[in-house]
Amino acid sequence: MTGTQDSGSAVASPTEVVAAPADQGGGTAASVRGRSATSALSRNGAAVVALVVVLVIGFVTVPTFGSVDNLRNVAVAASFIAISSAGMTFVIISGGIDLSTGSTYGSSS
């Protein structure tokens, strides 16, 4: 994985990046899209592609994956991450990084 991305960064030939094997679904898709267009939509598209890949893997390999209970549990569990990473988004766009989030999360419980 590292080797393919390394070659992509050294040589600015899009064909080489596209030809890279999709061993790491999310990472490769992100690099391809980021190279072709860096607009907001396509970057979001990379994350969506990664999400869909995991969804498909889950549906194929886990029998009870598609049940309403499971999907609801995942959504609820993801919401905690989403809330705390909404704050983290602010910190990261201002150029910093906040390592106290976990401790604050824990000590508020």
Nearest approach, Cβ of 71 to another protein (angstroms)? 9
Q: What number of chain residues touch another protein (CB under 8 A)?
A: 67
Rounded to an integer, what is the distance from CA 89 to the centroid of its chain?
Answer: 14
**End-to-end Cα separation, the chain, in angstroms:** 40
Residue of 16, 19, 55, 66 interacting with another protein (CB under 8 A): 55
How would you label 7-31 residue by residue, b for 16+ Cβ within 10 Å and e otherwise? ebeeeeeeeebeebeeebebbbbbb
- The residue behind tokens 């959504």 is 75
**Interface with another protein, residue 104, by CB under 8 A:** yes
Question: Does 15 contact another protein by CB under 8 A?
Answer: no
Q: Rule CB under 8 A: which residues touch another protein? A: 1-2, 5, 8-9, 12, 24, 26-27, 30-31, 34-35, 38, 40, 43-44, 46-48, 50-51, 54-55, 57-58, 61-62, 65, 70, 73-109
